[in-house]
Amino acid sequence: MIELNDTHAPDLTSWVSSANDPTNDFPIQNLPYGRFRIAGSDAAPRVGVAIGDQVLDLQAAGLTTGQDMAVLMALDATGRAALRHAISTALRAGNESAHLRAALVAQADVEMVLPCEIGDYTDFYTGIHHATTVGKLFRPDNPLMPNYKWVPIGYHGRSSSIVASGQAFRRPLGQTMPAGAQAPALGPTRRLDYELELGIFIGRPRDMGDPIALDEAESHVFGLALFNDWSARDVQAWEYQPLGPFLAKNFASTLSPWIVTTEALAPFRRPFTRPAGDPQPLPYLDSPAHRLSSVFDIELEVWLQTARMQAAGQPGERLSVSNFADAYWTVAQMVAHHTVGGCNLRTGDLFGTGTLSGPGPGGAGSLLELSQGGKTPVTLANGETRTFLEDGDAVILRASCNSPGQRRIGFGECRGTVLPARATAA
């Protein structure tokens, strides 16, 4: 586990004044990493750290010697701690210099790209409240499969269709089986949904055949970001048996641009427990140290901005609030289970947590849950209704860590917009 140090001090301030605003996601206690270029240019991405409303170009500041994010992500714990401390020291109040100020770029003037080159992508299913609610739609008397409370469920997804926050994508086409039909039809999905997730980035690699022990697992994790794993629910219902999601999931997934490191998350941890009556994890997924402090307390929000809201200049409407602490499996357990059979991990590999819903209706992490499978439309404040997403809708995910006595840190936003589908072939 990462110990707290002077970089976490809640009273620490920065000479970048916007970082001292308590509502800003990027105070000096955060220091998330991302890749950027000046908006409108075709320059190669540069590695930066968010501080207030600015980006610190690490190479221009003399804090790194290159622009390869993978090199930073693969550092061991000592190297990562040293780099965090050097960045924190450079940005602390009283340490301003012309050299450092020249290395700042306003976030309003940059284009953020994917925070790293993503290798393999695995999507887990750790949100037990989502799994239970969705399971009840199909199996009211037995919503969870027998293996759910024993094994972190996951599947291998497609990394090449993961896009950076702010991008739009076309409504996907796919096969669906209309009610009462004798044959499926090809057409645009009518049940397009979002999924509120976190993305987990692997930093230090691991060779094939060399499993990662639970108490070592987090040393291989660089950090977390917001992740929207869009889903075509009607396509998914027709295609997913027996091998799982395919076209319902491979058309787009949206990732926020900043990786909040496990070092920054150190003050926001909780003990791991199992509800009374639930089975305890198998030994390879359990340890005293893991039980002590392996759960991340991250509050999550979903906002919807319809085309009508955008035209009216309205920022959107919040649909739900949940917390990563309610997930059934932890980051460490996902890593340990992923490698127990001998699977290798590479720097830049991405894990999705699965949809992170809360225990009540206000915590639903998808429209599938909010609309009860499309049966109950969600009424918005402006009178519009939704069962699933419509063309022109923008979905915005937000997240923050808020603990008494600690400086609030945030993840920025993860935004994606739905465009009309392309015409189907004749």
Active site (catalytic) residues: 130
Q: Quote the CA–CA distance of 198 and 299 in Å, as a whole number.
A: 11
What the block records as the tokens of 73 is 């992500």
What the block records as the tokens of 196 is 């509120």
DSSP class of residue 109?
G
Q: Which residues, in sequence order, are CB contacts of 216 under 8 Å at separation 6+?
A: none
Q: Which residues share a beta bridge with 110?
A: 38
Q: Which residues, in sequence order, are CB contacts of 283 under 8 Å at separation 6+?
A: none
Q: How many residues does the chain have?
A: 426
Residue 350 phi/psi, 5-degree rounding, is -125, 135
List the one residue out of 339, 323, 338 whose CA is nearest residue 402. Answer: 323
Q: Show the 3-state SS of 329-397.
A: CCHHHHHHHHHCCCCCECCCCEEECCCCCCCCHHHCCCHHHHCCCCCCCEECCCCCEECCCCCCCEEEE
Q: Quote the CA–CA distance of 336 and 41 in Å, as a whole number.
A: 41
Q: CA torsion sign, 177 to 181 to 183 to 188?
A: negative
What the block records as the tokens of 266 is 């150190």
